[in-house]
Chain A
Amino acid sequence: DTGVSQDPRHKITKRGQNVTFRCDPISEHNRLYWYRQTLGQGPEFLTYFQNEAQLEKSRLLSDRFSAERPKGSFSTLEIQRTEQGDSAMYLCASSSFSSSGGEQFFGPGTRLTVL
């Protein structure tokens, strides 16, 4: 399968712990996006990379959140000192520069539960 993959699929952690998620985009895609989806809501944009450069960050991305894409391939999203409000599905998507109309391809998501 050459789609977007995310790891882990599920993460349960205690409040105050740090967690890190990984996203592997479609191999030829140079753009990578992170979204957060809470129950009953549509996904909300968090941040966007073009190659290794982080070009846009939402105000939803507090200073406890950090994302990296060190070699322009896979990306990691880290949440420090997790809070119960961080419980959500974290989605990764990728697209190519040449993709017409900005179509993004989504991974299956990482479901985070903070106890």
Chain B
Amino acid sequence: QSVLTQPPSASGTPGQRVTISCSGSNSNIGRNAVNWYQVIPGVAPRLLIYGSYQRPSGIPDRFSASKSGTSASLAISGLQSDDESDYYCAAWDDSLSGFYVFGTGTRVTVL
């Protein structure tokens, strides 16, 4: 059971902005950077955001992220049909002996 909670779904029409939340705790988001991944069925996950705010090269600036306290969010602006997939937040958790944890995942649908 994940300690990072996301809404199961989000949707928008082409061109709209969609935001996905990720709620954690002091031992993970509260102390460590958040990463975001895009997962398309049958394809290896793709890193969208690292260090809570940074985009790897090749990731369009339509994807942006923020973090405040024990929560984080991913925003997709100018929504495109290609954006329809699953999105996961992730962070290192300092509890126990330390572990990496993914969020529960959010399915984004382009209407």
A and B physically associate: no
State the B residues within 8 Å of A (CB). none
State the A residues within 8 Å of B (CB). none
